[in-house]
């Protein structure tokens, strides 16, 4: 009975928080809200910069999607597929949605072991602070209420990491073209040629884009 009451309270709080912060649902997995960056200038590896006042899209994951997970062993693969599909969809939308035309980068906080550096994500460990300890407490509470099995397994590994994905990297790694069958075939063919051919002075190497 108590667990059901806590669950309903958390659901109500989550819904209210999203309305107050104008969180917009993109698809089954992700939602975004828009905020102005208030930190110091950040020069990122892809050559872009984030300046005070720049618009950021804050990435949020929808708890309803995770509630459908029945087999935790398969959840990682399913999450990866959903995330790629969501980012491809968001990439296309950012090219046409007037509200998103000034977004410089995606930003979010994850509490699980981070991945994604190979596809443009910039990941950094958040420092120990009162604010981050409160975040950690709240996230553990969310896990315990909504995903008790996951909480029992992951509770000791929770560490806050911030992740960034610039607009440029989003287009590069998650455009519709980059995930089309034709693009993948061309990419695989180019990789195969690079590993099997040895360029010489009389036979120059051929590049594929």
Q: What is the mean pLDDT of residues 61-81?
A: 67
Q: Which ranges constitute the DSSP H helices of 38-127?
A: 63-67, 72-94
**Looking at 70-84, 100-114, 159-173, which range is the least confident one?**
70-84
Give the rounded percent of residues in the chain with a pLDDT score beyond 90: 29
pLDDT given for residue 204 in this prediction: 31
pLDDT score of 1: 63
In a domain, 105, yes or no: yes
**pLDDT tens-digit series, residues 17-54:** 889 989 999 988 899 999 999 999 999 988 899 999 99
The pLDDT of residue 157 is: 66
Establish if 141 belongs to a structural domain.
yes
Residue 76 has pLDDT above 80, yes or no: no
- Residue whose structure tokens are 């020069």: 43
Does residue 153 fall inside a structural domain? yes
Angle between helix 2-20 and helix 130-146 axes, rounded to 10 deg: 130
Query: What is the per-residue pLDDT for 126?
Result: 82
State the DSSP code for 130.
Answer: H
Task: Give residue 128's Cα distance to chain centre.
Answer: 22
Task: Flag whether 187 is in a domain.
Answer: no
- The stretches of 24-166 forming alpha helices (DSSP H) are 63-67, 72-94, 130-146, 148-154
Residue-level pLDDT at 120: 87
What mean pLDDT do residues 90-111 have?
A: 91
Tell me, what's the pLDDT at 104? 95
Task: Determine, yes or no, domain membership for 71.
Answer: yes
| Residue 156, pLDDT score | 64
Domain residues for the domain of 40 are: 2-175
Instruction: Pull the structure tokens for residue 57.
Output: 């899209």
Mean per-residue pLDDT of the chain = 77
| Number of domains observed in the structure of the chain | 1
The predicted model gives 73-97 an average pLDDT of 84
The string of pLDDT tens digits covering residues 141-157 is 777 777 666 666 666 66
Domain-embedded: residue 184 = no
In a domain, 189, yes or no: no
Beta-bridged to residue 124, according to DSSP, are 162
User: Six-digit token pair at 141?
Assistant: 């509470």
Query: Is 70 exceeded by the pLDDT of residue 67?
Result: no
Confirm whether 96 is domain-assigned.
yes
């Amino acid at each position: 009975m108590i667990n059901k009451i806590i669950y309903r309270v958390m659901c109500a709080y989550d819904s209210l928080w999203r309305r107050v912060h104008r969180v917009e649902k993109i698809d089954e997995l992700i939602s975004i809200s828009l905020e102005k960056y208030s930190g110091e200038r950040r020069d990122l590896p892809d050559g872009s910069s984030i300046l005070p006042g720049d618009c950021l899209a804050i990435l949020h994951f929808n708890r309803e999607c995770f509630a459908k997970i029945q087999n935790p062993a398969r959840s990682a693969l399913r999450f990866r597929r959903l995330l790629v599909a969501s980012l491809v969809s968001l990439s296309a939308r950012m090219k046409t949605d007037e509200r998103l035309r000034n977004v410089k980068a995606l930003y979010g906080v994850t509490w699980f072991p981070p991945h994604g550096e190979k596809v443009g994500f910039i990941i950094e460990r958040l420092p120990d602070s009162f604010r981050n300890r409160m975040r950690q407490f709240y996230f553990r509470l969310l896990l315990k209420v909504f995903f008790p099995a996951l909480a029992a397994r992951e509770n000791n590994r929770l560490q806050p990491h911030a992740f960034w994905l610039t607009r440029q990297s989003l287009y590069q790694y998650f455009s519709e073209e980059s995930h089309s069958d034709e693009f993948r075939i061309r990419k695989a063919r180019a990789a195969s040629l690079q590993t099997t051919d040895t360029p010489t002075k009389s036979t120059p190497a051929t590049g594929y884009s």
